[in-house]
Amino acid sequence: MDLEISEHNKEVHIDIEKDIQKQGNGLFTFILRIHNGKIVDCNVVEYTNIKKYLKLKRIILERIK
């Protein structure tokens, strides 16, 4: 089996390879949208730790009547 990459898709393949190398280890998820064999959209899913953005400041307890 021979894998051929069309000229139209070469740049996306290079970009994905760079993203994989940048990621290193761990989960790497991306979504490709393809039309007639051509990649028309590529989205890399980035994961983050929510603790980086949210902090619990206080808890208020109220009795419901």
Residue range 38-57, pLDDT digits in tens: 999 999 998 888 887 888 88
What is the residue-averaged pLDDT of the chain? 90
Q: Is 31 or 2 the better-scoring residue by pLDDT?
A: 31
- pLDDT for 14 equals 94
3-state SS class at 11: helix
Number of separate helices (H) and strands (E) present in the chain? 1, 2
Enter the pTM of the model.
Answer: 0.65
Radius of gyration over every alpha carbon of the chain, rounded to an integer in angstroms: 21
Is the confidence at residue 15, as pLDDT, over 90? yes
Map out the domains of the chain as residue ranges: 7-52
